[in-house]
Amino acid sequence: MQVVAHERFNSNDINAAAQVARIKAANAQAMILWAGPGVLATAFRSINDDALDIPVLVSDSIMSYSIMDQFAAFLPKQLYFASIHPGKAACAREPASMTLARTIAYFSMEIAIDESMPTYAGGLGVLAGDTLRAAADAALPMMAVTLVYHHGYYEQMIDENGIQHEHPAPWESRTRLEATDFTAAVRLEGRSVRVRAWRTEIRGLRGATVPVYLLDSDLPENEAWDRTLTDRLYGGDRRYRLAQEALLGIAGKAIVDAAAGGPVQLYHMNEGHSALVVPQLLLELQHDLQAVRARCVFTTHTPVPAGHDCFGRDLVERVLERPIIEALEWMGQLHGELNLTALALAGSHYQNAVAMRHGEVSRAMFPGYPIQAITNGVHAATWVSPHFTNLFNRFLPDWQADNFRLRQAVGIPLRDVGDTHRGCKDDLIVALRQRTGIQFDPNVFTIGFARRAATYKRADLLFSDMSRLREIAAECGPLQIIYSGKSHPDDDGGRKLIQRIHEAMKALRGAIRAVYVENYDMTFAKYMIPGVDLWLNTPRRPEEASGTSGMKAALNGVPSLSILDGWWVEGCVEGKTGWAVGTLDGSPDEDAPSLYLQLERIVSMYYHDTARYADIMRYAIALNGSYFTTERMVREYVINAYREAAS
């Protein structure tokens, strides 16, 4: 007979070691704890690491997230979560049947699950993947949903004239993913469109997993056009886009509820693409808007109006079913058009931007909403290069379990920092030659820039005064430049930007070696970001929401030269973690002169004061690498967004 022990810890009785001894004496195969988070933290600290060797089920789990990192190390076995009450059948389940109750569902149009899966286009998807990796590290009871994208985003080819060409990026989705029995149906244009869910999972450092469900409409019972809806990421026209987002929000909700065995506790919308979960939830909760808002969290990533998905009323009435339209009207969200960002804001109890500055911009764009700021981060174990991983393991052996330990990188000898970076640079030069056939010099100062090719990111600012750039290379020291990044296929301005950079690089031949690497992806990023000597970022203020590439650079000791916008407002300690271009509220006309002036000083320092440059690299790790992580970011979501939902 299986024995499940029920234990209630409270502030007056937290002798956990004695209670565990009683449980083991009774030959219990599992323990269910009834306790608040503070008591749990205290209780587990009194248990020896090897004392507790049975599964533990923690009741009312969402209240325990904020102290997960405080007691997880004291549990040698998997920690399970559930919202259950004494006396119910669920309390007496056998340990073998205990499953982690998934109480948070994370919706994202793109997720970089694995660098070999083309289910992401850029920063939003990479951030989503890093978020889920950090959630798995913390053993959060989370699941995620996106679309399967059988044909991926696209593979980029740039011809000899700098013109971008796009080709499909098919992948073996049906063999790489696990089939499930979960299905859902959504009415689009009066038709029932059925989707199935594929499954994969992201595994954390301690073995916990976050399942990811990928929706697929390519089913024989669907009409031909409907079967294409999960083929391409950001493909097609406005009708295609609205239909995709209906699948993500409406069918996605049905899938995660089915996977959880009932409605999940919290729906987290990562950008507005999944906002149609709100009217669907409103219908299910009998138009109780407060109840809907209590179940939803929304993260906005876009500080410019053009970045928010809007659909005209005629298209909305054509594509969506009548009950959803009526729910939107009831909420006052369907006037001349449907703005999915506004819908997500109206349907959430907690809304956040992705950097301090972005929060200010978002509150001005959407007055009346108390939009908070949780600054983005990156997943340290994913983005620290193998060379720096070895270095950190030598000097800071617990850094992966506790990223804040990187603060102590200030104690790593400068010679070790410099030698480690040289290994990263050598790897980049090999990878660059393999991709492009171009040979770079490991002894030459190398600048890196890799962002989505959008006009507001001003990738061509470095080339705005070619004579000045040549002068710096001649007088301060030789330069090498590596650029990369894709333009959205429909962004004519972004495509022309790539052409302009291509022409500028051709004009620099003989003076500065420069290359634009096509088809930027996570694989090449892991060589490029740690291998350059300086990371450049030049967006137009205040249009950068956050940016995370500079955070990845900092983890690998690469300082940034960047416009004071997005995350760099918080990360820039002038002359310590990197350098600012212009001032916080300066004129855009001042940016190019400031860029060249800073570059002169930086290049001179690199060649003539190597110890000082290495010290800046070390501080980039200690100050920025230790803080701008998804470990810290997820902890902020737990404390500010998820815990509030539970209460």
* Structure confidence by residue, pLDDT tens digits, 95-120: 222 234 579 999 999 999 999 999 99
Question: Are 122 and 486 in contact, with CB atoms under 8 Å apart?
Answer: yes
Q: Please tell me the number of Cα atoms within 13 Å of 614 on its side-chain side.
A: 17
Give the C-alpha separation, 296 to 339, whole Å. Answer: 17
Give the model's pLDDT for residue 9: 42
Task: Assess if CATH 3.30.465.10 describes domain 380-628.
Answer: no
d(CA 568, CA 548): 10
Residue range 130-159: mean pLDDT, rounded: 97
pLDDT by residue (tens digit) across 429-466?
999 999 999 999 999 999 999 999 999 999 999 999 99
Which pLDDT value is given to residue 20? Answer: 58
The pLDDT of residue 102: 73
Considering only 21-30, 41-50, 570-579, which range has the smallest mean pLDDT? 41-50
pLDDT exceeds cutoff 90 at 67: no
pLDDT digits (tens, 9 = 90+) for 379-388: 999 999 999 9
* DSSP string covering 507-539: HTTTT-EEEEESS--HHHHHHHHHHSSEEEE-P
Three-class SS of 578-642: EEEECCCCCCHHHHHHHHHHHHHHHHHHHHHCHHHHHHHHHHHHHHHHCCCEHHHHHHHHHHHHH
Task: Give the separation between CA 364 and CA 303, rounded to whole angstroms.
Answer: 10
Q: Where are the beta strands (DSSP E) in 126-236?
A: 142-147, 155-158, 164-167, 178-188, 191-203, 209-216
519 exposed, middle or buried (CB, 10 Å; 0-12, 13-18, 19+)?
middle
Tell me how far apart the alpha carbons of residues 506 and 487 are, in angstroms, rounded to a whole number: 20
- Chain-centroid distance of CA 10 in Å reads 37
Taking 90 as the threshold, does the pLDDT of residue 2 lie above it?
no
Q: Do 104-376+634-646 and 380-628 agree at the fold level?
A: yes
Residue 303 is predicted with a pLDDT of 87
Kindly tell me if the per-residue pLDDT of 215 is higher than 90: yes
**In terms of C-beta density within 10 A (0-12 exposed, 13-18 middle, 19 or more buried), how is residue 60 classed?**
middle
Q: Is the per-residue pLDDT at 94 higher than 60?
A: no
At residue 307, the pLDDT reads 79
Does residue 219 register a pLDDT over 60? yes
Query: DSSP string covering 464-503, please?
Result: S-HHHHHHHHHHT--EEEEEE-PPPTT-HHHHHHHHHHHH
Of all residues in the chain, the percent with pLDDT exceeding 70 is: 84
Segment 347-376 shows an average pLDDT of: 97
Q: Is residue 236 exposed (0-12), middle (13-18) or buried (19+ Cβ within 10 Å)?
A: middle
Strands in 79-82's sheet, in edge-to-edge order, are 4-8, 30-34, 56-59, 79-82
Phi/psi for 181 (5° steps) reads -95, 5
Residue among 35, 26, 70, 25 at smallest CA distance from 56:
35
Q: What is the pLDDT of residue 285?
A: 97
CATH number given to 104-376+634-646: 3.40.50.2000
Length of the chain measured in residues:
647
Assess whether pLDDT exceeds 80 at residue 69.
no
Give the per-residue pLDDT at 306.
74
Q: How confident is the model at residue 17 (pLDDT cuts 50, 70, 90)?
A: low
Give 62 or 502, the one with higher predicted confidence: 502
Rounded CA separation 346/331 (Å) = 8
Q: Which residues contact 596 (CB under 8 A, 6 or more apart)?
A: 465, 468, 469, 472
80 SS3 class: strand
Predicted confidence (pLDDT) at residue 45 exceeds the cutoff of 70: no
Annotate 474-499 with b (16+ C-beta within 10 A) or e (fewer).
eebbbbbbbbbbbbbbebeebbbbbb
The CA-CA-CA angle for residues 430, 431, 433, to 5°, reads: 65
What is the average per-residue pLDDT within 355-384?
97
Give the integer Cα–Cα distance in Å for 483 and 492: 19
Q: What is the average per-residue pLDDT within 134-140?
A: 96
Q: How far apart are CA 431 and CA 232, in angstroms?
A: 28
Residue 475 has pLDDT above 60, yes or no: yes
Question: What average pLDDT does the segment 584-609 reach?
Answer: 97
Give me 418's structure tokens. Answer: 């410099």
CA distance 54 to 70: 19
Q: Residues 6 or more apart from 110 whose CB is under 8 A from it?
A: 119, 120, 121, 122, 124, 125, 128, 146, 153, 233
Question: With DSSP H G I counted as helix, E B as strand and the rest as coil, what are the percentages for the chain, rounded to 5?
Answer: 45, 20, 35
- What integer is the mean pLDDT of 529-543? 97
The secondary structure of residue 217, as a DSSP letter, is -
pLDDT of 74 reads 35
Checking if the pLDDT of 355 tops 90, the result is yes
Q: Show the CA angle centred on residue 367, arms to residues 361 and 370, nearest 5°.
A: 80
Check whether 50 has a pLDDT greater than 60.
no
Q: Are 581 and 568 in contact (CB under 8 A)?
A: no
> Contact, 137 vs 204, CB < 8 A?
yes
For residues 294 and 280, what is the distance between their CA atoms, to the nearest angstrom?
14
Residue 419, C-beta contacts closer than 8 angstroms, at least 6 positions apart: none
**pLDDT, the chain, mean:** 88
pLDDT at 41 over 70: no
Domain ranges of the chain: 4-97, 104-376+634-646, 380-628
Higher pLDDT, 94 or 526: 526
pLDDT for the residue numbered 27: 57
So what's the pLDDT on residue 534?
A: 98
Question: For residue 22, what pLDDT is reported?
Answer: 61
Q: What confidence score (pLDDT) does residue 261 get? A: 92
Residue 86 confidence (pLDDT) above 50: no
Helix (H) or strand (E) holding 312: strand 310-312
Lowest mean pLDDT among 32-41, 71-80, 276-285, 403-412: 71-80
Q: Has residue 167 got a pLDDT over 80? A: yes
Contacts of 521 (CB under 8 A, 6+ apart): 115
Beta bridge partners of 146: 214
Q: Give me the phi and psi of 395, to 5 degrees please.
A: -100, -25
Question: Which token pair is 395?
Answer: 């000097």
Q: What is the pLDDT of residue 643?
A: 81
Q: Would you say residue 522 has pLDDT above 60?
A: yes
pLDDT at 264 over 50: yes
Q: In this structure, what token pair is assigned to residue 526?
A: 């892991």
